[in-house]
Amino acid sequence: MIALSLAEIARAVSGELCLDGSTLTAGSVITGPVHTDSRGVEPGAIFVAKPGEVTDGHLFAPTAVERGADLLIVERHLDLPVAQVIVPDVVVALGALAAEVVTRVRARGRLKIVGVTGSNGKTTTKNLLRAVLERVGPTVAARGSFNNWVGAPMTMLDLSEETRFLVVEMGASGTGSIARLTRLARPDIGIVLNVGLAHAGEFGGIEATTDTKAEMVTDLVETDLAVLNADDPRVAGMAAKTRAEVVWFGQGDAAAVRASDVQATRSGTTFVLRLASGESRTVSFRVLGEHHVTNALAAAAAAERLGVGIDDIVAGLESVARAERWRMEVLGGRDGVTIINDAYNASPDSMTAALKTLAQIREPGMRTVAVLGEMAELGELSGEEHDRIGLLAVRLNISQLIVVGAAARRMHISTINEGSWDGESAFVDTPDAAFELLRDSLQPGDTVLVKSSNSAGLRFLGDRLGDLFS
C-alpha cells in the first residue's frame, strides 16, 4: 500500500484512532500491505478484522499482532498493545481505504483503470489484460477471482505510486453491486463481456442481471471508453446507456476488434486478430476453448485504447497458458488421457461452451467423457437448464456422461430419456464415487471434461484425476 499516516487512514475510513499501548503516534506512517487473513500478516502490515461466514476476524487479531501488524481496523476496541482504528463496519472501511489510495495515486496523473464484468469470463479477461499491460508498464490486477466488496478493494490496495494500470474484476451479488465498486475506483475503460444465466436466481431474472451488468458503463463519461460485446444483444443494448465512446468486440463484421479464421484444437486456439486500427496478426492462443477468444478480443480492445501496440498485445495473449486455476485447466497426459478441469464455476452458458469445446477437440476414434455437476444459483430456471445441458451432451455425441450429485440428477434423466443416443450416462451421488467409476473405466486416449459450480466440489475430483494420469 502507498504510505499513509495513521491519522490519514483513520480520516479516510471515518474511524476513531486509538493508540493505547502502541509505540506509534498519529503521524506514524504505514507502508505495509493490508490483510484480512491473520496467517498472511507480516511486520508493518494492517490487519482488517473482517467478519466471516462462520467466524469473526476479531478472534484472530492477537495472531496478527504476534506476527507484527502495526494497525488493526476493527469494529470494537480490543485489549491489545497495537494501534487500532475503530469503525462501524470494517468491510465499508476497507472500501473507503481503497478509494483513498486510488484517489491519491490517480492524482499523480499516470494511473488508468479498467473494470471488467460479465456473467462469464471475467477472471480470464483480467488475466489476459494483465499479461498484455505488464509488457508496457507496472500493472496491478485482481488476485484470483477477487471481485466482490472485499476482494476488489484488496486489489486496489496493492497500488503503488509507480502503478500505471489497475485492472479490477467486478462481480455482482445483486442490483447496485457493480455501481458500488465503480464508485471506489471509477474505470476509464469499462468492459462488459456477456449477460447470461449465471446467478439468475439471485438477481431475480435475466433482465435484472442485464441492468446490474450495465452499471459498469452507465456512469462513464464522454472521455471514457465502453468495451462492449457486439455478439451479445443484451450487452449491445448497453450502448444506449452510456455517455462514453463505444468500441465493439466480437466475431461478426460489426465489431471493430474481431477474430476470424478461428481454429480450436486440444492444444489451444489460433485466430486472426484485427484491431480497431485495422492492423491484424495471427494469434496462437494457448487457453483452451474457442469461447475464450471473446475474452482475448475484449482484452485487446482495452489494451489498444491504452496505447499498447499490436505486437505487445499478441505477445501478451500468447504468453497465457491457462485461463486460471480450475478453469479449462489441462491435466493428465499418461496413456494419452487428457483431463480438462473446469469446475471452479458453471452456468448454462459456460457449461455449453465447455461441452462444445470437448466435442471440438475430440481426436479421431477416441472417446469424450463429460463429468458434470450442479449449476448453482439458477433459481426457478434450474430444472429446465439442467435438462437442456443433458440434451446438449446427446446432440454433441459425447461418448460418456457421468452426472454427480442429486442437484444435477436431471441431466442424467434427460439423457437416458433420449432413446436415439448411443452414448452412456451414469449417475453417482458423490465425487468419490465418480472417481472410483472413472478410475476403472477410463481408456487410453480419452478426453475428460470435469465441470460444475464451485459448490459441487468437482474441482478436487479433477485434480485427483489429473494426478492419477500424470
Query: Do residues 132 and 313 make contact, with C-beta atoms less than 8 angstroms apart?
Result: yes
Is 357 annotated as a binding-site member? no
Alpha helix (H) residue ranges in 287-361: 292-305, 310-319, 348-360
Report d(CA 446, CA 448) in Å as an integer: 6
Is 307 annotated as a binding-site member? no
The amino acid that residue 407 corresponds to is A
The set of residues, in sequence order, having a beta carbon less than 8 Å from that of 336 and lying 6+ positions away, is 366, 444, 445, 446
Is 120 annotated as a binding-site member? yes
Run of H or E residues at 126: helix 122-133
List C-alpha distances in Å: 82 to 10, 68, 385: 14, 10, 53
Give me the DSSP letters along 47-103: EE--B-SSSBGGGGHHHHHHTT-SEEEESS--SSSSEEEE-S-HHHHHHHHHHHHHH
Is 447 annotated as a binding-site member? no
Is 295 annotated as a binding-site member? no
Report d(CA 74, CA 35) in Å as an integer: 13
Is 118 annotated as a binding-site member? yes
Is 119 annotated as a binding-site member? yes
Report d(CA 33, CA 49) in Å as an integer: 14
Task: Find, among 382, 388, 375, the residue nearest to 346 by Cα.
Answer: 375
Residue ranges for the known binding site for ATP are 118-124
Residue ranges for the known binding site are 118-124
